[in-house]
Structure 1
Amino acid sequence: MNRRSNLHSEIVDVLTRIERLNDMVQLHEKQPSVDSLAVEGYERLRQQYIGQLEELLASLNIRADIHLRAA
């Protein structure tokens, strides 16, 4: 697998991880007793993945300043 193809796979992987974390945050927020500690952990991880995504895009000469949308 060449470098560019590997990079594309990494980007898709990070986006998939962010999507899963979004689902987990929504699931926990819908529970009658919200586990705020779990939600904070997922949000922290999501922020790390967003930083990783920005770095991967930068290697393709794409500048991204990604922010989370309010739910």
Structure 2
Amino acid sequence: MASITDHEEGGPDPCVSSKDLTKLAGDLGEMQDHLAKQVKRMDEIVDRIETGWRGPAPRRTGRPPRTPYASVK
């Protein structure tokens, strides 16, 4: 695999071709697109869950609701 680091003389590494760099840039672009789509899908799932949520109404007793683990201490 080619390295993208600078060569010992201070210039670009001559072992990395322009074609390899172009492919890498394309791969990075594809990954960004993929991640953006995944984030959008996750947002849509959360929106659907929030829309369909039918949990019990919070109590108005002035104290926090009891959790299943409140008695375990």
- Using the size of structure 1 for normalisation, the TM-score is 0.44
| Bigger proportion of residues as helix | 1
Higher relative contact order (CA 8 A, sep 6+): 1
Could you state the TM-score of these two structures normalised by the residue count of structure 2? 0.43
